[in-house]
């Protein structure tokens, strides 16, 4: 009994000792917490630094592609140009760049899409001259103002136009053509690729300045107009020089004048309109634009990579094959060109009397 009593006493003492023993404190993992905070801060700083260096953070880490909106269908030279520039930008920026064909309303829907995009350099417009420097004179109302809703980035290249006659017209010079047209007013017709195009407007303005009753005949493309001119159905065609070069060199047609300030490098033997005695200068072009209010540093970085692309030997060669004279201007230069050309085409559109269907 004595043994049992002593054993019970020892057990009670041990239980009290265990009950009074303090629970161990959990040591705070301050090192881990600070590591996590530094990681979060580094992510925030990465985004901030990317923004201050002119391109959105998403563009730099590749989470979202830069979109180049081309507002016409795929397959033509303008679409090929867009993809060529996108490839070079992809390499230059080390970021994904895609081309989106946003078609409809003669290119107006694509322009509107870029107008409504965020001004962060992630959405660009690659477009020929008409939707941004001519349409304001064609349509009574546009859902965009190219001068206030878009920010010029760079011009890519220019193209010019020519006036040509078929084998049934005796004229060898532009002056002779004007004299022939005045002597044969019922035959003074000219064909173009379509109504409401730059060749249509240019032909109308030339006719007005030359004192001709120049009647327009619209075709579905240059090829059909040239075929009829060679066959004698129409005497004159006005279209881009790239569509005239091969037939002129082959002796099937005669180009009498070209429209740029300098002679065309594709037709160096042909005088300009001004050299032929008519104060007329007209060029078309392709340019890149961003939404209005895009930060200047973003515009500068985009311009740099685009100009480098245009000046690359392989791109230059491709542009020449498209019938384009490579340029690669500054953003400020494109703004001046856009304003100048808008002023030029306004009276040309008026002279044509063209009214769009929609």
Give me the CATH number covering residue 200: 3.40.190.10
Same domain, 105 and 164: no
* Residue 37 counted as domain residue: no
Portion of the chain with pLDDT greater than 70, in percent: 82
Of the pLDDT bands very low, low, confident and very high (cuts 50, 70, 90), residue 357 is: confident
Same domain, 310 and 334: yes
| Secondary structure (DSSP) of 83-116 | HHHHHHHHHHHTS-EEEEE---GGGHHHHHHHHT
Same domain, 250 and 329: no
Q: How far is CA 237 from CA 161, 233, 234, 266, in A?
A: 10, 11, 8, 18
* Residue 253 counted as domain residue: yes
Mean pLDDT of 332-336: 98
Write out the two tokens for 276: 């032929």
- Residue where one domain finishes, among candidates 205, 223, 258: 258
Same domain, 75 and 131: yes
Is the per-residue pLDDT at 79 higher than 80?
A: yes
Is the per-residue pLDDT at 2 higher than 80?
A: no
Is the per-residue pLDDT at 96 higher than 50?
A: yes
pLDDT digits (tens, 9 = 90+) for 252-279: 999 999 999 999 999 999 999 999 999 9
Output the pLDDT for position 21: 45
* Residue 311 counted as domain residue: yes
pLDDT digits (tens, 9 = 90+) for 118-148: 999 999 999 999 999 999 999 998 999 999 9
Is the per-residue pLDDT at 25 higher than 60?
A: no
Output the pLDDT for position 45: 35
Same domain, 164 and 88: no
Same domain, 75 and 152: yes
Same domain, 147 and 177: no
Taking the C-alpha atoms of residue 78 and residue 128, their distance in angstroms, rounded to an integer, is 8
Same domain, 164 and 250: yes
Output the pLDDT for position 358: 64
Q: Where in the sequence is the domain holding 149, given as residue range(s)?
A: 57-158+283-352
* Residue 44 counted as domain residue: no
- Residue where one domain finishes, among candidates 241, 258, 275: 258
Write out the two tokens for 120: 């962060």
Q: How many CB atoms lie within 10 A of CB 88?
A: 18
Is the per-residue pLDDT at 355 higher than 70?
A: yes
Portion of the chain with pLDDT greater than 90, in percent: 80
* Residue 78 counted as domain residue: yes
Number of folded domains that form the chain: 2
Mean pLDDT of 85-108: 96
Q: Which comes out higher in pLDDT, residue 49 or 208? A: 208
The CATH number covering residue 130 comes to: 3.40.190.150
Output the pLDDT for position 53: 44
* Gyration radius (Cα) of the chain, Å: 34
Output the pLDDT for position 63: 67
Please provide the average confidence, as pLDDT, over all residues in the chain.
86
* Residue 50 counted as domain residue: no
């Amino acid at each position: 009994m004595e043994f049992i009593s002593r054993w019970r006493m020892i057990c009670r003492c041990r239980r009290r000792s265990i009950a009074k023993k303090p629970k161990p404190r959990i040591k705070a993992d301050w090192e881990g917490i600070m590591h996590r905070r530094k990681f979060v801060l580094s992510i925030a700083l990465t985004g901030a630094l990317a923004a201050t260096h002119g391109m959105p953070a998403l563009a730099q880490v590749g989470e979202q592609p830069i979109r180049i909106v081309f507002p016409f269908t795929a397959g033509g030279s303008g679409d090929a140009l867009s993809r060529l520039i996108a490839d070079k930008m992809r390499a230059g920026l080390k970021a994904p760049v895609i081309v989106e064909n946003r078609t409809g309303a003669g290119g107006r829907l694509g322009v509107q899409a870029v107008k409504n995009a965020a001004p962060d350099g992630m959405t660009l417009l690659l477009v020929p001259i008409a939707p941004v420097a001519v349409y304001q004179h064609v349509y009574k109302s546009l859902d965009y103002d190219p001068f206030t809703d878009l920010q010029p980035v760079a011009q890519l290249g220019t193209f010019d136009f020519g006036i040509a006659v078929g084998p049934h017209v005796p004229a060898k010079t532009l002056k002779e053509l004007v004299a022939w047209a005045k002597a044969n007013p019922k035959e003074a017709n000219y064909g173009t690729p379509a109504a409401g195009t730059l060749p249509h407007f240019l032909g109308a303005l030339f006719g007005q300045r030359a004192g001709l009753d120049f009647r327009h005949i619209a075709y579905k493309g240059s090829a059909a107009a040239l075929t009829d001119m060679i066959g004698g159905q129409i005497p004159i065609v006005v279209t881009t020089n790239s569509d005239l070069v091969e037939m002129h060199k082959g002796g099937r047609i005669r180009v009498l004048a070209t429209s740029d300030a300098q002679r065309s490098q594709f037709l160096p033997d042909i005088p300009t309109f001004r050299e032929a005695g008519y104060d007329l200068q007209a060029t078309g072009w392709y340019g890149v634009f961003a939404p209005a209010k895009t930060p200047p540093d973003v515009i500068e970085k985009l311009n740099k990579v685009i100009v480098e692309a245009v000046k690359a030997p392989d791109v230059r060669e491709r542009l020449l094959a498209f019938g384009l004279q490579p340029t690669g201007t500054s953003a400020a230069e494109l703004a001046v060109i856009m304003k100048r050309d808008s002023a030029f085409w306004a009276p040309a559109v008026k002279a044509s009397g063209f009214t769009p269907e929609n």
